[in-house]
A and B are shown apart, each in its own frame.
Chain A
Amino acid sequence: MASAAASPPPRTERISYFEDVEVGEPLETPALTVTAAHVALFEGLTGGAPATDPEMVPDLLALCLSSGLGWRVPRPPLVVLAFMGFDWKFHLPIRVGDTIRSRSHTAAKRSMKEGGVVFEEREIVNHRDEVVQSGRLTLLVAKRKPA
């Protein structure tokens, strides 16, 4: 059996803290095709009335999908303690079959006693590169624990 001293430390999930957030650093997510299955699941889960046009994607579904896509960027995941709020604009409708991705950057960050606040500017774009939704999100992020 190999000695314990020679074995590398266990691999764990890499994470980013408030201190690692760089203002202005552009991040782009992979793309996701919005399907009728997404729409059906979302309508069933949220209890919204089905849209008159079944090809239309609910406004809020795209925002929800972008939150999951946001974890799939080249930066290790942020330790988000709380989602504090957002200001959001809906520019163009999204239809079933459209492929969306999101682009974002940190507009500003503010250190607090417990963690720090990160202001993220985000755009959701479709496969024609049109901005379909955009806005600013406010997140409370953990600071690195002193060693």
Chain B
Amino acid sequence: MSAQVPLSFEDIKVGEEFVSPGRTVTEMDVVLFAGLSGDYNVLHTDAEHMKSSQFGERIAHGLLVLSIQQGLVSRIAPELVEQPMTELAWKFRGPIKIGDTVHVVARVSDKHPADRPGWGIVTIVRRVLNQRGEVVQEGESEHLVERRLG
């Protein structure tokens, strides 16, 4: 990966939008995430049990797709989304099934000076869409970004 360009608060444009590449959520993603996080809830790990559920099959962990979302956005705007997060408000709107393909639409919705001198807060609104264009997750992150001196 190329070196990141240092970003300052002044460079960020409110209204700028980013559309990520897509990514297919696989069974391996779900199994690896269960092992990494320790969340073995039947929703994600018991295919037979889930046949009789409202979803009809295993679904991906919401936090897995949230984390994939962060990776997808960082492929188009790494200098922006990797600024330290201070807050995250998130809604899980619908299930993501194994084989679904998600992508992210993100937009800078606000920026304002932080209480801490020399820093600003940037808000990014994000929507995760599946292959049918349905919003499956959405939310807002706030990031602490350094201001340019002088």
Contacts and interface: CB of A to CB of B under 8 A. Distances in A.
B4 interface: yes
A47 B75 contact: yes
Interface string B32-74: 1100111111010000000000000000011110111011101
B72 A47 contact: yes
Contacts, number: 106
A87 B90 CA distance: 6
B71 A68 contact: no
Interface string A45-85: 11111111000001111011101111110000100111111
A38 B75 contact: no
B117 interface: no
B84 A90 contact: yes
A85 to B, nearest CB: 4
B1 interface: yes
A100 to B, nearest CB: 12
A41 B31 CA distance: 12
B29 A45 contact: yes
B111 to A, nearest CB: 18
B91 A90 contact: no
A45 B67 contact: yes
In this complex, the member of A81, A82, A84 whose beta carbon has the largest number of chain B beta carbons within 10 angstroms is A82
Nearest to A65: B37
B118 to A, nearest CB: 18
A49 B72 contact: no
Contacts of B74: 47-49
Contacts of B36: 38, 41-42, 45, 64-65, 68
A90 B86 contact: yes
A64 B33 contact: yes
B86 to A, nearest CB: 6
Nearest to B28: A45
A72 B38 CA distance: 9
Interface of A: 38, 41-42, 45-52, 58-61, 63-65, 67-72, 77, 80-90, 93
28 contacts: A41-B32, A45-B32, A45-B36, A45-B64, A47-B23, A47-B71, A47-B75, A48-B74, A48-B82, A49-B78, A49-B82, A63-B63, A64-B63, A64-B64, A65-B37, A67-B38, A67-B61, A68-B36, A68-B40, A82-B92, A85-B90, A85-B139, A86-B88, A86-B89, A86-B90, A87-B88, A87-B89, A90-B85
